[in-house]
A = this chain, B = another copy of it.
């Protein structure tokens, strides 16, 4: 498959959010662009990488386009997700409704800290991270969320990779090393604030 840029994929995800809320049966690239904060040409270009879904003069049929984008993004299947790190961020993530809504089910939480192990989080019992490998052997997951301190992140990731995890959402503020067949997204909130600081400092 032709290489699609990350920015295109992110925009598809944004379009999808608005398609799901759309009231009218059709929508134009211009309207999607307005909602998603981009341009109509960009919307059409993004979609054109995957096929031609619209009707000239009319726009896109909302239900069809919704289905196509879900399909492109691979959201039809639903994912089991394990979370490592039951700190504050982990806690927020476990409860975050957006994940479940989108078909991402957190099925286990792990931590190292004896004080956290055994406690309940949103119906899940925090397990000792030493069970990570054996649990994943029984119930594999494609996706893991890493919300550990920076120091332990790489080590946890190595274990996840060995256990067959293929995609990692990383909240620890370090770049992670993984083999090329594993995908990592790092979310670093301090870094986001720093880009804001930069824009304040340079105006």
Contacts and interface: CB of A to CB of B under 8 A. Distances in A.
A193 B99 contact: yes
Interface stretch (A39-47, A67-75, A129-137): A67-75
Contacts of A99: 189-190, 193
Interface string A71-111: 01111010101000000110111011011011010000000
Contact of A74 (B6, B36, B75, B197): B197
A17 interface: yes
Contact of A167 (B72, B77, B189, B196): B196
B173 A189 contact: no
B193 A104 contact: yes
Nearest to A122: B88
Contact of A185 (B9, B173, B195): B195
Nearest to A197: B74
A162 interface: no
Interface in A174-198: 175, 181, 183, 185, 187, 189-198
Contacts of A79: 193, 197, 200
A203 interface: yes
- Stoichiometry, as copies per complex, reads 2
A24 B183 CA distance: 32
A98 B142 CA distance: 29
Contact of A187 (B81, B104, B192, B197): B192
A119 to B, nearest CB: 16
A116 interface: no
Given A88-B91, A92-B92, A175-B14, A1 B195 contact: no
Given A175-B37, A185-B195, A195-B10, A88 B98 contact: no
B185 A98 contact: no
Nearest to A92: B92
Nearest to A167: B196
